[in-house]
Amino acid sequence: MFKLLALPAIAFLGSTIESERVADIQTPVCDSVYTFAEVQPQYPGGMKGFYDFLKGFTYEEIGPEDPIYGKFNIHLTLDQTGVAKDIQVTPETDPGLALKVFLKKMQAWTPAKNKDVPVCYYFKIPAVVHYR
């Protein structure tokens, strides 16, 4: 009887450890974040593709005297898989915060690499965005 109880406990422990390993693979952690890499990250379609993606941003909550465009700095931290883990937009105005939400919809980038190893990468992109 003791053997029967021990086997399911070992099987359960093994599946718990395996699920933790899968979770680690799915959520990479950035121990180091680079601002320079041998191979720079690449958005699908290059920077033209990124700016084409930004053309889809609309923001209708502006008054008649507000400008219809804004200048922003987009700060991105990409993980080793090219997924944006930290997105900041300055200035943090209402349109800037809406742009930050919009940027969460972007595709994953081809990750930056050092010595053929994918690395986390931080960079800033200037952008002029039309609201309407």
Look at residue 95 in the predicted model and tell me its pLDDT: 87
pLDDT level of residue 94 (50, 70, 90 thresholds): confident
User: Greatest CA separation found in the chain?
Assistant: 81
CATH classification at residue 59: 3.30.2420
| Contact by Cβ (8 Å): 118, 31 | no
Distance (Å) of CA 79 to CA 60, 95, 111, 130: 32, 26, 7, 29
What range does the domain containing 81 cover? Answer: 28-130
What are 33-61's pLDDT values in tens digits? 999 999 999 999 999 999 999 989 888 77
Q: Is residue 3 part of a domain?
A: no
pLDDT tens digit sequence for 78-91: 999 999 999 999 99
Q: Is residue 10 part of a domain?
A: no
pTM of the model: 0.73
Q: How many domains does the chain have?
A: 1
